[in-house]
Structure 1
Amino acid sequence: MRNGSVQRLGRIVTVLVVDALLLLLLAAILPGFSADSFWAALGLAVLLGLANALVWPLLIRVALPFTVATLGLGALALNGLVLLAIAGVDRGVHVRGFWSAVVVVLALTALSSASSALLALDSGDLWYRTVVRRQLRRTRLAVESDVPGILFLEIDGLAHEVLQRALRDGNAPALARWVRDGSHRLERWETDWSSQTGACQAGILHGDNHDMPAFRWWEKDRGKAIVTNHPRDAEELERRRSDGRGLLHADGASRANILSGDAPHSMLTMSTVLDRRRQGRLGQDYFAYFASPYGVALTFLRCLGEIVVERFAAIEQRRRDVRPRIHRGGSYPLVRAFATVIQLDLQVAAVTADVLAGRPVVYTTFLAYDEVAHHSGVERPDTLAVLRRVDRAIARIAAAVEHAPRPYELVVLADHGQSQGATFLQRYDESLEQLVRRLVGDGDAIVAETAASDEGRGQLTAGLAELGTRPTVTGRAAKAIADRRDEIEAGEQPALPAAELPEIAVMASGNLGLISFPREPGRVTLEQLERTRPGLLDGLRSHPGIGFVLVRSEADGAVALGGRGRHLLDRGVVEGEDPLAPFGTRAADHVRRTDRFPRCPDVVVNSAYWTDVDEVAAFEELVGSHGGLGGAQALPFVLHPVGLPWPEEEVVGSGTVHRIFCGWLHRLGHDGYDPFAGLVAGPADGALASGDGAPHGQGKPAASGGAAPE
């Protein structure tokens, strides 16, 4: 005890001296701030320390709702006012006005953080003090339980093979330690054709991703497009498949997901952000984050740092002529900073609160890696740096478990991977939309939605929408911004009258293209297209950047057309060269299943897959993409405790993953989950079942570097 007290006293003295030296440095370089001597700077450091220890807790108790409502800017202003007040007491220091005080706070925060990291003065104690200890006080009435809970921590877009290399190369050290210690095992599973977050999470969280062909698609029965990460569309998608017994229905928490899994507690979840009645809205589980007097200033500086890193990485790619690459300007640096700093912090704080409250099951999606991989590349240096940051975030959550009122099992997973490659537009100087316009010769009658599937921007919109449900001035302003974004997003538009429907709708989800004819009732067939638009299918199937085209024939049923052959899916007959051959042994089953969806587009286009370089051609302007067949995008992972069983056979489809997870919860003693869910029995032929019960064919997915379904 005595040694601990001496160590704490020594650290306090060291921090004060370092802060005094830093204040002297700032006095020499910052206009509007000066210190007469070292002792004056030391006095200011002491007074700031006392204010943080004694005054700030009282001040923040009153001002916390204001700081949360202003997303922390209020806390930054309070920091400046506190410094001004202290400068009025310490006559040896001089601060010229409010803005000078704010600049001093930001600069001192940056230098203090750097010096603490360099001298190892903090070692995670700040995190414990500002988040864990405060949440422990808030949740001291949590009921203890011997029934273990499960934390499902999803790293969006991280493929199994990429994680394997990251474990080997030190880019996921915390996860590598779990594997090497023998507590966890890494497994691979295979997605359905639509290898994107909406369909995959529908399967994982609700056990059903039926009739979700892509990230965005046209729905003839509704007369409009649907886009998965638009709040109203996500709400509709969950309504269609929720039975009230999703993966998180038993007092679970959903944090930063597309769908909620029927969780009673939900925050930054697309399908629930507009629901004012739910528990856990933005601002209720994030209070601890604003409890630190320098927390917001540090976040602001980290966001600036992330923007600088992004600009440097983009410039470096151009300087070295790294390919493939895309233009990364506009608002993307701000979106990246939000995804990799603000949202990451928010998720860790929220999940930590869930752990300390003893919630039985929690699911959160870390978007940061996926967002950067889309724009930088799957394993580029700045992408792997973000993966290391996510790894540290998971380690922080794991460290909070020891303070929880119940034991927890930690499961880390991905909903899909990503495949890399130059985009379709870069390769052929025309987009899919432009190709369709050229082939049909009717460009004025086409509506296109081929912009990049920016999930980070979608999450930012979700945050604004969620903040907009709060009855505050800031909430009303956020709602106005979110409503304005709704107006300009196609997926949020009202249904169009029949007379205003476009002739053709062209949409994209990664390297998956979707072509619909909104004015034509029902599914337009191959024979109809050959009569009315005779050049379209031949032009698509023969294009070097297109692997195959799915269309329904009146005579032959589902048909996959390639440049040198076709695959009659319903009959299992291949004429000429099989266009599905490069995409793995289960490709035909995946394509056949999608063809049976009631809302399957009239024509589905999958880009080519070049096995020699392991590349696809996205129909969106993204370096790393997902959504169709080809490469690692369909081969994500589950890193699970060794005590939770994983099937010996190949796991195919996110609905199968849902049943495994439900089986784990039942095995751990949670009521309300199917006792037979973990027994992943397939149809009589031994094939695994997909999210809607339709059988998948047998056979293993292609190995790393080879063709793979989805």
Structure 2
Amino acid sequence: WLLQRVLDLVDIIITWFNRRRYGALARQVGRDPDDRATADGRRGLILVQIDGLSHKTLVQAMDAGALPGLKRLLERDGYRLERWWCGLPSSTPVVQSGLMYGNNWDVPAFRWYDKESGRTWVAKNPRDARELQDRLSEGRTGLLEGGSSYVNIFDGGARLSLFTVSALGGSRFFENVRGVSLVVLMLLSPLRLLRAIAAGGWEFVRDLWQRLAARFDTRVGRRRRPFSVPAALFQIFASIVFRELQTFGVLLDIYRRVPAIYTNYYGYDDVAHQLGPLDGETLRVLRGIDARIHEIDVARRRFADRRPYDLIVLADHGMSPCTSMKERYGQTLGELVASLVAREDQEFVLDEGGSEVDRSDA
């Protein structure tokens, strides 16, 4: 009995502290809680996307102990693990446009060549993403109307979009300024900032060491990444910096009673493309994401009296382990096609652009 009363008192103190803390942060960022937010009595929605994590890999990662938070939700809190058909092509822009606008017509891939216009479309290009979103959302209300979007391709009509591709650019300047203020607040949060710096520094050293060691590993089928300081820095942003910032934003949004929140944890997809879906380093990234999802779930429960939220954790697609054609056969798929169709009297343009990650699975 006494222990229970002590725990209740601790919970009350923590709740009071968090209300004061997040209330002050929300006022500083210029996004005060809206007293009308729950006037309609509707529940809020939090969508957490783990980019690139298939059902099979999820189960295997749980068995390996990489997702203790999600496993606890399933075993203790009544959550269900369901398969779902993400459709074809199974890519992020197709799935997100379908979820956010109920329309993914004529989005054939993440990156494709349009013969009619002679133009290459890339979903991670802000101009292309904006044009796609304008077409797909025409006459439709987005799922995130009045809400927030973090690290997505499309914004779903969100009021605030941070690191969302379609929202990057001059036309969304003032919204991006609000996003910058969130970044500044994150930098003024000592514990979270120290955690990000420590994790980022350690991850940077580990990443460079693994890239260097991989140069001396000649086993066929062994995934290798080129030794590159810029690539290692990008990995830190994808796996650590973005993850901390978007989680911080979601926590503020929960306090503010934002109606709909969609955040995409991209780090797993990035590393899994390079090293494989169940590599040791890939599972480390999953553990970090799992911890942030747990943090979001705790905040959702703690502030449930302000607005109850439904939490949905999903993935937009999966991936399969493979060996690149370049490693197995000495040439990429594009080079093979070029050798088969090009003629001496015909100019042939081979465009195998994309990132280090895109090329690794060619």
Q: Does 1:260 align with 2:159?
A: no
Q: Deviations over 1:565-595 (max 9, x none)?
A: xxxxxxxxxxxxxxxxxxxxxxxxxxxxxxx
- Superposed displacement of residue 222, structure 1: 2.6
What is aligned with 2:208?
311
Give ranges in structure 2 of 5+ residues lacking alignment. Answer: 1-13
CA distance in 2, matches of 1:447, 1:411: 44
Residue equivalent to 2:196: 299
- Which position in structure 2 is the counterpart of 1:698? none
User: Which residue, 17, 25, 29 being the options, matches 1:135?
Assistant: 25
Q: 1:184 to 1:341 in 2, by over 3 A?
A: same
Would you say 1:415 and 2:316 are equivalent positions? yes
Greater share of strand: 1
Q: Distance in 1 between matches of 2:303 and 2:183?
A: 18
State the secondary structure of the residue aligned to 2:82: strand
Q: Distance in 1 between matches of 2:75 and 2:144?
A: 33
**CA displacement at 1:425 relative to structure 2:** 1.6
CA distance in 2, matches of 1:248, 1:300: 34
SS in 1 for 2:350: strand
Match of residue 188, structure 1, among 70, 83, 87: 83
Per-residue CA deviations over 1:77-122 (Å, capped at 9, x if unaligned) read xxxxxxxxxxxxxxxxxxxxxxxxxxxxxxxxxxxxxxxxxxxxxx
Letter in 1 for 2:127: R
Residue 45 of structure 2 aligns to a residue whose secondary structure is strand
Q: Which residue of 2 aligns with 1:237?
A: 132
The one of 428, 431, 443 equivalent to 2:332 is: 431
Cα distance between partner residues in 1 of 2:191 and 2:220 = 39
| Cα 1:219–1:327 shift into 2, 3 Å | same
**d(CA) in 2 for partners of 1:237, 1:347:** 24
In 2 relative to 1, CA 128–151 (structure 1 residues): closer, same or farther, beyond 3 Å?
A: same
Aligned residue among 344, 357, 361 for 2:243: 344
SS of 1:154's partner is strand
- Match runs of 1:585-604 below 5 Å: none
Deviation at 1:191, TM superposition (A): 2.6
- What CA distance in whole angstroms lies between the structure 2 residues aligned with 1:304 and 1:354? 28
Contact 2:53/2:317 (8 A) holds in 1: yes
Q: What's the RMSD between the two structures over aligned residues?
A: 2.9
SS at match of 2:53: coil
* C-alpha contact 1:352 1:397 (8 A) present in aligned 2: yes
* Helix, strand or coil at the partner of 1:327: coil
Give 1:112-127 correspondences, 5 Å limit.
none
How far did residue 441 of structure 1 move? 3.1
Higher relative contact order (CA 8 A, sep 6+): 2
Deviation at 1:326, TM superposition (A): 2.7
Residue aligned with 1:434, SS: helix
CA distance in 2, matches of 1:161, 1:256: 24
What secondary structure sits across from 2:179 in the alignment? coil
8 Å CA contact 1:130–1:292 kept in 2: the answer is: no
Encode CA deviations 1:126-176: one digit per residue, 9 max, x unaligned: x96997464366566432624210100000000111111222332111110
Alignment partner of 1:403 out of 300, 303, 309: 303
Q: 1:413 to 1:453 in 2, by over 3 A?
A: farther
Q: How does 1:135-284 map to 2 (within 5 A)?
A: 135=25, 141-143=33-35, 145=38, 146-243=41-138, 245-274=140-169, 275-276=171-172, 279=175, 281-284=178-181
DSSP-derived class of the 2:288 partner: helix
Question: 2:267 touches 2:285 (CA, 8 Å); kept in 1?
Answer: yes
Shift of 1:193: 2.5
Change (3 A) 1:360 1:393: same
Structure 1 residues 450 and 205: CA distance shift in structure 2, 3 A: same
Q: Are the aligned partners of 1:424 and 1:430 in contact in 2 as well (CA < 8 Å)?
A: yes
1:575-654, aligned counterparts within 5 Å? 620-622=359-361
2:152·2:165 contact (CA, 8 Å) conserved in 1? yes
Equivalence map 1:4-23=2 (5 Å): none
Whether the 8 Å CA contact 1:299–1:341 is kept in 2: the answer is yes
SS in 2 for 1:271: helix
User: Could you tell me whether the CA contact under 8 Å between 1:171 and 1:384 is conserved in 2?
Assistant: yes
Residue by residue, what CA displacement relative to the aligned partner does 1:634-675 show, whole Å, maximum 9, x if unpaired? xxxxxxxxxxxxxxxxxxxxxxxxxxxxxxxxxxxxxxxxxx
AA aligned to 1:231 is P
Tell me the equivalent position of 2:352.
450
Cα offset, 1:260, TM superposition: 1.1
Q: How does 1:369-408 map to 2 (within 5 A)?
A: 369-401=268-300, 402-403=302-303, 405-408=306-309
8 Å Cα contact 1:131-1:349 kept in structure 2: no
Give the structure 1 partner of residue 224 of structure 2.
326
Counterpart CA distance in 2 for 1:341 and 1:246 is 32
Deviation of 1:249 (Å): 4.3
Matched, 1:285 2:177: no
| Cα drift, residue 198 of structure 1 | 1.6
Q: Distance in 2 between matches of 1:311 and 1:245?
A: 46
Conserved? CA contact 1:339–1:367, under 8 Å? yes
Please give the per-residue CA displacement for 1:16-54, whole angstroms capped at 9, x wherever unaligned. xxxxxxxxxxxxxxxxxxxxxxxxxxxxxxxxxxxxxxx
Partner secondary structure for residue 446 of structure 1: coil
TM-score (structure 1 length as normaliser): 0.44
Structure 1: gaps of 5 or more residues: 1-123, 456-509, 511-619, 626-710
Distance 1:347 1:322, change over 3 A: farther
Query: Could you tell me which amino acid in structure 1 is paired with residue 225 of structure 2?
Result: H
Please report how far the alpha carbon of residue 315 of structure 1 lies from its aligned counterpart in structure 2 after TM superposition: 4.8
1:332/1:243 CA distance change after superposition, 3 Å? same
SS in 2 for 1:245: coil
Deviation at 1:192, TM superposition (A): 2.4
* C-alpha distance 223-337 of structure 1, shift in aligned 2 (>3 A): same
Separation of aligned partners in 2, 1:288 and 1:313 = 33
Q: Deviation at 1:245?
A: 3.4
For 1:411 and 1:384, the matched residues in 2 are separated by 21
Q: Distance in 2 between matches of 1:212 and 1:388?
A: 32
What whole-Å deviation, never above 9, does each CA across 1:403-447 have from its counterpart, x for those lacking one?
Answer: 362011110000001111111121211122221221123377233
Q: What is the Cα deviation at residue 394 of structure 1? A: 0.7
Q: Paired residues, what number?
A: 337
Report if aligned partners of 1:248, 1:254 keep a CA contact under 8 Å in 2. no
- AA of the residue aligned to 1:448: L
Which range moves more in the overlay, 351-360 or 182-191? 182-191
The 5 A counterparts of 1:549-568 are: none
More helix by share: 2
TM-score by length of 2: 0.83
How big is the shift at 1:215? Answer: 1.4
Please say which structure displays the higher CA radius of gyration.
1
SS at match of 2:166: coil
- Cα deviation 1:470-517 (Å, max 9, x = unaligned): xxxxxxxxxxxxxxxxxxxxxxxxxxxxxxxxxxxxxxxx6xxxxxxx
Cα distance in 2 for residues equivalent to 1:141 and 1:327? 45
- Check conservation: 1:289, 1:295, Cα contact below 8 A: yes
- CA shift for structure 1 position 276: 2.7
